[in-house]
Amino acid sequence: MFNQLGVIGCGLMGGSFALALKRAGLVKRVIGYSKSPTTTERAKQLGVIDVAAESALLAVAGSDIVLIAVPVAATEATFKAIRHLVEPGVLFMDVGSTKRDVVDAARRVLRERLPAFVPAHPIAGKEVAGIEHADAMLYAGRQVILTPLMQTDPTLLQKATDVWAAIGCQVLRMSAENHDAAFAAVSHLPHLLAFAFFSAVAKQPAGRDFLSLAGPGFRDFTRIAASDPTVWRDVLMSNREEILKQSQRFRHTLDALEHVMKQGNSEALEGLIRDAASARASWQMQQPKAGGNR
Amino acid sequence: MFNQLGVIGCGLMGGSFALALKRAGLVKRVIGYSKSPTTTERAKQLGVIDVAAESALLAVAGSDIVLIAVPVAATEATFKAIRHLVEPGVLFMDVGSTKRDVVDAARRVLRERLPAFVPAHPIAGKEVAGIEHADAMLYAGRQVILTPLMQTDPTLLQKATDVWAAIGCQVLRMSAENHDAAFAAVSHLPHLLAFAFFSAVAKQPAGRDFLSLAGPGFRDFTRIAASDPTVWRDVLMSNREEILKQSQRFRHTLDALEHVMKQGNSEALEGLIRDAASARASWQMQQPKAGGNR
């Protein structure tokens, strides 16, 4: 149980975390700050936060848990704004989709205050951004990855684990490096491909007619192409090395498929499709076990 | 109202059409044939067909509507097997995902009997194939594209339009060429990309670990990668020219995105993402209007 949650960045992710903690009875009071005063005010009107703070630093003052839910590219500036109030015993977390850049920024800015920071990436989201879409159930049934450092305070790491588990997440731990390699493959590259594919279809002369014929397969394949441009600009930029590596792998597989198509080699094409289809058919999204924590 | 529906190919598509016509009270009797006698027998056991035919030709005899629901690559052989019983006034349709190859085969084989054939492509399916998954509602609320030829009998074209509309489809007409170009863009290329992407992820050394971290975005993006390999081998092969053209467009857009990532040009990257995201956000899958037919 926490006395006060400080949310820096009252958007979908930060707002949903506040609502989830309230719903679970894990926090007495939520204080929130957003760069735009209108957003902070809106968060208060919607009952997502109880108190509007006038700065990031003021959202930290008096809080025993702080969630930094700003775009990844704004994380370092946020650390700088709050570093004087990063006290031992207070749990600081972020929600960024990339972790090496966040960890690097934390090392640079927080220094001796680094142990208070537990880097976190909840695997949850919506295609709609903003505090209006904040949802107490956004994180329920999802995975959250913690990428602690050698210096991370074990007590705070346990607290972080407990709070995510309490709002229904399965909690995993790994290094920031492994995290970024994995998410380049299973999240960042699919977004890049979906953006590229949707633009390629939409921008061609007959694109409008083509789009009117698209069915459920297309709908699901392109769903993530509607993701927030600011968030994804930052993700693609900050993890670009791993993403470009994964894109190379993808291009090689695509080349192989197109090669057998050009050759007219039906048998080889069927073999390649069968590999993909059977692997996909046997894959299932991980669901948290009862109790959540592992 | 038809007296007898002949289904050649008792799989998901053919079986679902039979069930839909029965449910709508549009047919008195269904006779079915599949290459595998076990499948034909199973279709009868499941009540999808009433009578098992021992050949494609026998499924046509006495039928006033015939659905050819075999893999696209087997269409020409099917035309050859039944051509002697392709009579004027009997409605013949297929369900192939590509239309130029089907139309070419019909021209070659049916010749003076060509007017009886109305090429059809219902935009419906499941990732699971086979008669066990046949579903009377598979086509409800979906689009069906008819690609009639100059020679097509207008009365049969109207009958085809009516029967699809009666089972809940929105019926569109276009040329086989336009059909194939459009579906290369909105269906065939996405399948090719999904196969390529899933294989690329699954086959890398850490693929198994990566897959355990994948979330709902990945799940939806890769859903079509589980599609039937035989069906998609035929589709990708028979429409390869259009698909390869669309793939080139996609690669150019992907190149442009990766170029600005490599440059570190966040602003340009955001612009490209924003184009895709706003186009996708404003796109909606077409839903049939009340009454279905247009």
B219-228 residue pLDDT tens = 999 999 999 9
Query: What's the pTM value of the predicted model, to 2 decimals?
Result: 0.83
* Nearest neighbour of B190 by CB, restricted to A187, A221, A249: A221
Note whether residue A114 is domain-resident. yes
Flag whether residue B290 sits within 8 Å of chain A, measured between CB atoms: no
Domain boundary (B174, B198, B225) is at: B174
Domain boundary (A174, A200, A232) is at: A174
pLDDT score of B288: 55
Which of chain A's residues have a Cβ under 8 Å away from the Cβ of B258? 192, 244, 247
CA distance A268 to A259: 10
B25: tokens are 């009270």
Domain extent for A88? 2-174
CATH code for the domain of B187: 1.10.3660.10
Per-residue pLDDT for chain A (294 aa), expressed as one digit of tens each?
899 999 999 999 999 999 999 999 999 999 999 999 999 999 999 999 999 999 999 999 999 999 999 988 899 999 999 999 999 999 999 999 999 999 999 999 999 999 999 999 999 877 678 999 999 999 999 999 999 999 999 999 999 999 999 999 999 999 999 999 999 999 999 999 999 999 999 999 999 999 999 988 999 999 999 999 998 999 999 999 999 999 999 999 999 999 999 999 999 999 999 999 999 999 998 765 444 333
> Per residue in A116-154, is it b (16+ CB within 10 Å) or e — as a string?
bbbbbbbbbbbeebebeebebebbbebbbbbbbbeebbe
Note whether A47 and A111 are same-domain residues. Answer: yes
Note whether B74 and B184 are same-domain residues. Answer: no
Q: Is the Cβ–Cβ distance between B223 and B195 less than 8 Å?
A: no
CA dihedral B103, B107, B109, B115 (to 10 degrees): 90
Cα A173 to Cα A88, A122, A151, A177: the distances in Å are: 22, 12, 15, 12
Q: Is the Cβ–Cβ distance between A15 and A7 less than 8 Å?
A: yes
Strands B143-146 and B120-122: antiparallel
Residue B173 CB partners (closer than 8 Å, separation 6+): B145, B146, B147, B148
Note whether residue B186 is domain-resident. yes
| Residue that has been written with the tokens 């709050």 in this structure | A82
Taking the CA of residue A249 and the nearest CA in chain B, the distance in Å comes to: 6
Of all residues in chain B, the one with the smallest CA distance to A182 is B210
CATH code for the domain of B79: 3.40.50.720
Contact flag A262-B275 (C-beta cutoff 8 Å)? no
Domain boundary (B145, B174, B203) is at: B174
Note whether residue B46 is domain-resident. yes
Q: Region B206-227: what's the mean pLDDT?
A: 94
Strand (E) positions, B124-201? 143-146, 170-173
Note whether A58 and A33 are same-domain residues. Answer: yes
Residue B164 belongs to what H/E stretch? Answer: helix B154-166
Chain A from 44 to 103: CB within 8 A of any B CB: 73
pLDDT score of A292: 37
Contact flag A217-B211 (C-beta cutoff 8 Å)? no
Q: Region B140-161: what's the mean pLDDT?
A: 97
Q: How confident is the model at residue B104 (pLDDT cuts 50, 70, 90)?
A: very high
Number of separate domains in chain A? 2
pLDDT score of A288: 55
Strands A91-94 and B2-8: unpaired
